[in-house]
Every structure is written in C-alpha cells, then in structure tokens.
Structure 1
Amino acid sequence: MACPDYNASPSASYQATGQQMYQERTFDVVAGGENYIWNCSNVRPGTDTGAGYFTTAPDFSFQISGMAPYQLVISMVSECDSALLINTSSANWYYDDDDNGNLDPRIVLTRPVDGRIDIWAGTYDGEYCNARLSMETFDR
C-alpha cells in the first residue's frame, strides 16, 4: 500500500527564512491524492483526526531557517473540502481538515524549528481540486 512518504521526491522545493515569510507567501497546487491517511501506519498525526487523501510524494518541501522568533501559519484555500498534512524536521506529523473555515485547513506551528518541512495538499474525500497554499510567520 502506498502512503505519504517524506523520502519521496517533492513536486516543488523552496528555501525561506522566517523573516521572508513575515509577508505571506502563496503557492498554487492541485489538492488530492489516492492514499487514505488512516490506512497508513507510518503517518500518525498528533492533531486532528478527520478523513484525508494524499499523494505519496510531498507537494512541497521547504527548507526553513531563522524561525526562532516566529510562529508559522500554514493554510490552504481551495475549490473543495481540502486537507493538509505536514511532516516537520523533528519528524512530527500534523493534519488538519477545516480550521481555516469554509472546509479549508490551517495548521499553526507555535515553535517551528529550522530545517525541512514537507507539505501534502490533500482532500477530505479523495477528489482533486485547485488550491492555494499560504505560509506566513507571526511574532510569538
């Protein structure tokens, strides 16, 4: 069975500092996937427990630095019921389905660490749709 895998090559890779993300950065993506998250024993988010379908490879991989004074907000706006899955450089999984309102996800990392963050843009029901990922830092 295929599952989200942070070792798979991401669709896109970026570098950013906390200061650069103080101004919101957005990225277009097609949300959706074929892997039902709760069938994947390698993925156990300590957050929301709703449904979600994701691709095997991350949609984005970010190498982030200078995060000490910031919290990081990762959100998505989409044309469907989208979901977010994140794996941080400390190997923690985060999932969200609706915290951004309007059936869209939002995850707040209150103490993000420097390093790699992999992000999957999925959907609640396995459908595919256009979406826009946003990343923005705020002072703690």
Structure 2
Amino acid sequence: MAAFFGLSAGAAVACPTFTLAGVEQYSATGPQLRRPAFFNVVAGGESYIWDCPGINPRTDRGAGYFTTQPDFSFHLQNMGGLRLVVSVVSECDAALLINTGAVNWYYDDDDNGNYDPRISLTRPSNGRMDIWIGTYDGAYCNAQLRMETFAR
C-alpha cells in the first residue's frame, strides 16, 4: 500500500501546482508596479505542461516544461482599473505559466518576441498570483521576469 501511495504522490507532485508557495514571494500594489519590476530566475523544469491534469490555460497552447513549485508568488493589491503585463527575457526559448487568485491558468511561449513569453492580463485580480518560468524544450537557462501595470 505504501508503494502505491508513493507512486501516486510522485506522479501528482511532478506537475505545477498552486498548493505550494513560490520559491520567492513578494507583495506589490498596482500603483507600485507602474514602474517595472524585474526578477532574475533560472527558467526550465521537468514537467511537460500538457501531461498535467487540471491545467487548462485560457491562452496559448504551445509546448513547455515547468517545475512543480512556482518560481514566484506575488500577493497583489489595488489592481482595479489596471492592466498587468508579465513578460520574460531569457537566454533560451522560455515559456510562462501563471495561475491567478481566481484559479485561472495562463500560458505563453513567444509573444514577447525572440522566443520569449508575454501575457497581458486586462483585469488582474487582487490576491496571490503564482508564476512559473519554464522552457519550450525542457532546457535550463538564465531569464528575467518583468512585471508592469498600465492604465486600461
């Protein structure tokens, strides 16, 4: 029986999950993010996104490999009336996965140009937002996350 539970837990643990807090955690308000904020990270992961049940992004459907634990958890406040742009610049073909406080998944692969991702949330919610920076092919590389708000 223990072997069964171990196998079960291992399979489920491999996929990105919002039940874990991000490796790095930050608090920010919409007005604070009017000036772009930058965060360094190593992009990549071992879990192929489309092998993960329960993750059905509202956006792009490209390939991507991510870690189980989010790279970042942001506790956002005062986001009303703003648009939040989350983008990545990397040394490889990066991918971006976001889970909002309303448990909406968003994915992108190349919308920032140069094989880098970008997601624009037109009505970002207050609360915790988890962000994973993965890669298209499962490789690892240096990357930088950028977050900035704009008036709608």
Question: What's the TM-score bracket when you normalise by the shorter of the two chains?
Answer: over 0.9
Provide runs of 4+ in structure 1 moved above 6 Å.
none
Tell me, what secondary structure is at the counterpart of 1:132?
Answer: strand
Identity %: 63
Tell me, what secondary structure is at the counterpart of 1:38?
Answer: helix
Return the alpha-carbon distance in structure 1 between the equivalents of residues 112 and 29 of structure 2. 23
Q: Please provide the CA RMSD for this pair.
A: 0.6
Tell me, what secondary structure is at the counterpart of 1:94?
Answer: strand
* TM-aligned CA deviation for residue 9 of structure 1: 3.1
* TM-aligned CA deviation for residue 64 of structure 1: 0.3
Determine which structure has more spread, i.e. the larger CA radius of gyration.
2
Return the alpha-carbon distance in structure 1 between the equivalents of residues 22 and 86 of structure 2. 17
- 2:56 pairs, out of 44, 48, 73, with 44
- Alignment size in residue pairs: 140
TM-score (norm 2): 0.91
Residue 70 of structure 1 corresponds to which residue in structure 2?
A: 82
Residue 96 of structure 1 corresponds to which residue in structure 2?
A: 108
Matched, 1:79 2:91: yes
Return the alpha-carbon distance in structure 1 between the equivalents of residues 22 and 42 of structure 2. 14
TM-score (norm 1): 0.99
Stretches of structure 1 lacking an aligned partner (at least 5 in a row): none
Stretches of structure 2 lacking an aligned partner (at least 5 in a row): 1-10
CA deviations 1:85-104 (Å, max 9, x no partner) are: 00000000000000000000
Return the alpha-carbon distance in structure 2 between the equivalents of residues 97 and 23 of structure 1. 24
Residue 106 of structure 1 corresponds to which residue in structure 2?
A: 118
Return the alpha-carbon distance in structure 2 between the equivalents of residues 54 and 129 of structure 1. 12
Structure with a larger share of its residues in helix? 2
